[in-house]
Amino acid sequence: MNLEAGFQKCNPLRMCIKSFAVRAAFPGCRPSLWLLPAIVLAIFSGLVTAGRAMDFSTPAREMKAQLAGKILPYWFDTAQDTQRGGYLLDDDAVKGRGTPSEKQIVTQSRMVWAFSLAQIEGYSDTNRNYLQAAAQGYHFLLDHFLDRQNGGYFWTTDLEGKPVNDCKFLYGQAFTIYAFVEYYRASGDKEALNHALELYHVVQAHLHDHQNDGWFEQADRNWKLLSPGDPRNAVEVVGYKSANSHLHWMEALAELYDATHDPDVKKSLVEALRVNATFFYPGDPARCAFYRQFDWKPVTAPGTAGLSYGHNVEFAWLMIRAENVLGEKMSWNHFYALLDHALQNGYDHQRGGLYYRGFDDHPATDTEKIWWVQAELLCALTDALKHEPDLRYEIALGKQLSFIKNYQVGPRAGIWLYAVTADGKPLDTTLANSWKANYHDVRAMMKFVDAFAGN
């Protein structure tokens, strides 16, 4: 439906938009009903002017200053376990810092990844060496999470590094590879890349579904697949293939292939891209699915239906990244279909912010605003505007930045709160825990800074 179609009964507004907003002020823009109120407001408030894109350089420079002055120092100063290695993740904007009971492979790996990226992006200084912060976490993973007998990395250890849950989950292996590749880029340590490639081959040997394609996701210490209902499971649902784990496996494969150009990794990346785009995040976003049977048949069990706006837009930009690494034609139509669906059904056009979940083409049913969902929309909108200017996405990005700044960011250290309500009231004030580290938000902020801050 175009901009005019929905307003046949509102002639004055329709004619105003037709004659002034669309055809005079923004030649070539592709307006959509989901952003009509914001377009009208932006035009008549003077937020944007005819033929001129919105300027994001100032918020990008402010965000860079926040990263350098508050956010990265917070993680460096509070999260490192200086006695045992690795990272201690237990902090709350209201309750304060606590002592965690475990170290979990995903967030330990994500910390290594983010500190490595901070080093690459030039944030290290005389007070804080982010490469050293990454290095000690990298060695903790090798010394305590690596199963040197069977290969792969355990799910959790205690604070000293003794395995607690020694299962191997695809989700955790993916982030270990992701971290090791980035640490290699930051340090030049070829052994880190070798460890990543070795882990890839171990996963292929034990978790790849050679009959149906895709990957199994949950196994014990000896790589025997878990059975449904196994209490040791910590990620997704045993007996299914999940959109979440396959998305992040693709993410890891893209970076591993970019660093190695290994032909086996390339083959797996092509496969991961295909199964994600076909079965979990198709071009018709209403058909997105959380789970599939091992043979890719739909899952109909109660509680498994619906879609995640955050994962949909995350896949959208990670798909473009994977295709770019592969040297393939980039699927921008697929990208925009997922982004537009999220903005149409899951975006708060009054305040900004992306809701959590919904169904089909209907408005969101879960309107919490979770930190990582906001970060992934920031990434997707940044890539949309890097690809080509578009008023719709400029206004959505402006509102997204405003919502994050005014509601998602905690006042104490500038760290994003885990979740707020639809109207921005704190819902979960967690700053750091076994599922929340410096990955989604720091990645999104650096992506935005790189795109718009300039030199």
* pLDDT of amino acid 93: 97
Q: CATH classification of 53-452 is 1.50.10.10, yes or no? A: yes
The 3-state secondary structure of 257-313, one letter per residue: HHHHCCHHHHHHHHHHHHHHHHHHCCCCHHHCCCEECCCCCECCCCCCCCEEHHHHH
Q: Are 394 and 51 in contact (CB under 8 A)?
A: no
Output the DSSP codes for 122-178: T---SS--HHHHHHHHHHHIIIIIB-TTT-SB-SEE-TTS-EEE--EEHHHHHHHHH
In the prediction, which pLDDT does 412 show? Answer: 82
Share of the chain above pLDDT 70, in %: 89
- Rounded CA-CA distance 171/353 in Å is 27
Which 8-state DSSP code applies to residue 364? P
CB atoms within 10 A of CB 321: 17
Mean pLDDT for 68-89 is 98
Say if residue 245's pLDDT is above 80: yes
pLDDT at residue number 309: 98
CB 116, CB 183: distance < 8 Å: yes
pLDDT of residue 20: 36
Of all residues in the chain, the percent with pLDDT exceeding 90 is 87
Predicted confidence (pLDDT) per residue in 323-334, tens digit: 999 999 999 999
Residues 115-133, mean pLDDT to the nearest whole number: 98
Rounded CA-CA distance 199/218 in Å is: 15
Instruction: With H, G, I as helix, E, B as strand and everything else as coil, classify residue 424.
Output: coil
- pLDDT digits 0-9 by tens, 428-450: 999 999 999 999 999 999 999 99
Mean pLDDT of 108-132: 98
At residue 6, does pLDDT exceed 60?
no
Domain boundaries, the chain: 1-52, 53-452
Q: Taking Cα atoms as reference points, which of 70, 59, 33, 61 lies closest to residue 410?
A: 70
**Phi, then psi, of 17 in degrees rounded to 5:** -65, -45
Average pLDDT of the residues in 36-44? 54
Q: Which two tokens stand for residue 147?
A: 């199963």
Going from the C-alpha of 211 to that of each of 80, 214, 267, the distances in angstroms are 43, 9, 15
Averaged pLDDT score across all residues of the chain: 91
Q: Among residues 231, 213, 233, 203, which one has the least CA distance to residue 294? A: 213
Nearest to 17 by CA among 397, 391, 352: 391
Q: Taking the CA atoms of the chain, what radius of gyration do you get in angstroms?
A: 22
Question: Is the CA virtual torsion 146, 149, 155, 160 positive or negative?
Answer: negative
Q: Which residue has the higher pLDDT, 8 or 346?
A: 346
Say if CB 11 and CB 1 are below 8 A apart: no
Select the more confidently predicted residue: 91 or 5: 91
Q: pLDDT value at position 455?
A: 73
Residue 43 has pLDDT above 70, yes or no: no
pLDDT tier for residue 370 given thresholds of 50, 70 and 90: very high
The residue to which tokens 């307003």 are assigned: 7
Q: For 353, list phi and psi in degrees, rounded to 5.
A: 100, 140
Q: Are 54 and 440 in contact (CB under 8 A)?
A: no
Q: Among candidates 201, 241, 199, 200, which has minimal Cα distance to 217?
A: 241
